[in-house]
Amino acid sequence: MASTTHLSLWEEIAKFGVPTLARGLTDAEAVQMTERYGAHNYKPLPVNIVRGDGAEAWDGSGKRYIDCVGAYSAVAHGHLSEKVVASIHEQLERLSLTSRAFYTSEVALFMKGLAEYCDLDMVCPMNTGAEANETCIKLARKWAYTVKGVPEDQAEIIVCDGNFHGRTTTIVGFSSEPGYKKNFGPFTPGFVTAPFGDAEAFEAAITPHTAAFLVEPIQAEGGIIIPPDGWMEQVRRICDKHRVLLIWDEVQTGFCRTGRRFAWQYEDARPDLLAVGKPLGGGIMPVSAAVGRAEVMEVFKPGDHGSTFGGNPLGAVVALTALAEMELEDFAGRAVRAGERFVAGLRSLESPHIKEVRARGLLVGMEVQDEVDSYELTHNFLHFGVLTKETRHRTFRFTPPIVIEDSQVDEAVERVGMALKALV
């Protein structure tokens, strides 16, 4: 480390600065320090990332990796997008945080820009994807009581098997993954579960107390599970028929990842509420929002909901710059082309270890055969310089930055093939 032993950590920070101190840590020291002082709610892969550029990352020893995790779609713009970084530098010389106790010009522009980008009316800025979904849940419930006329405290929201909407106690309470909810109860009532991709089962679950249907258009965390064609459109019609709000959770699938601005746009399935996040922060900081139709958004009154950091000027500038880059650099088209190239490459490997490749745009899942040791394969990927992790259903998710180059896609596929061949 760059520090000297007679100085306290705070003195070291004052003398050297945090970036210099961090660069002075070896990979082993960083791992050891994290395990010693950090809560063990994650089990990171054994690699310490110290630098990123575009679709590539490096560890402390200088080993280069192709980042096929992309922070679960959050780094769509690549590591350290020049335009996003430049916007931060400019804004940091002016204003960063005020809270929503005041108006700010940056947040005003952000809410206008995001509403127009989503083709919806109003925006409630938050920070994380889970917060965006929690905001949608509160909006749906209040709409049910004040507009639809559901009796107080009896509103129900339908969700799907295999869902992933975040990690708050409310959200994990309606997860179908036992590991997400064990020892965290009791849970919030008012949620009903239906099979994903089954329109008839969804309609059968509706009652007069149903406020909304909260669902992902593609289950990313669930293993890149793509519903049958026409299902989203059916869901929209069913919601209209029964006066139920349709809430698309596009935190992972949104902002061009699937080859459209939003995955719901593959069909006529415009939402009443939309939860967005991840890429909205430009790969730099957390920015999320609940976006929706005015009839629903206007049920919120002053004091109903809030966030100290949600809707801060710095985040607003980052998000607007990120949105502009997505639009002007044709991220949707790039995701389609890169995704097709990635999928064709994986299939051309003709590996007996691959069970199925599923994809929409640059949201790619590679499911491996039951006999494959996925732990071994994960470490093979690291050995050959590919960053990816297994999600459910023995599926490895490939969500690299949308700015990934063709040569990097080809290199990633080649390395995947090497990792598969190296299986014992």
Which residue of the set 278, 300, 342, 381 is catalytic? Answer: 278
Cβ burial of 89 (10 Å; 0-12, 13-18, 19+) is exposed
Which residue of the set 16, 110, 164, 196 is catalytic? Answer: 164
Report how far residue 62's alpha carbon sits from residue 72's, in angstroms, rounded to the nearest whole number. 23
Strand partners, 290: 124, 275
Question: Strands 245-249, 210-215: parallel, antiparallel or unpaired by DSSP?
Answer: parallel
Report how far residue 346's alpha carbon sits from residue 333's, in angstroms, rounded to the nearest whole number. 20
Is 396 assigned a catalytic role? no
Is 373 assigned a catalytic role? no
Is 249 assigned a catalytic role? yes
Report how far residue 72's alpha carbon sits from residue 252's, in angstroms, rounded to the nearest whole number. 7
Which residue of the set 249, 262, 331, 342 is catalytic? Answer: 249
Report how far residue 172's alpha carbon sits from residue 155's, in angstroms, rounded to the nearest whole number. 18
Helix extents (H) in 243-293 = none
What token pair was written down for 276? 């967005």
Q: What sign does the dihedral 389-391-397-402 (CA atoms) show?
A: negative
Report how far residue 272's alpha carbon sits from residue 246's, in angstroms, rounded to the nearest whole number. 5
Question: Strands 354-360, 288-292: parallel, antiparallel or unpaired by DSSP?
Answer: unpaired
Strand partners, 82: none
Listed residue (122, 147, 128, 155) closest to 274, CA to CA: 122
Active site residues: 164, 249, 278
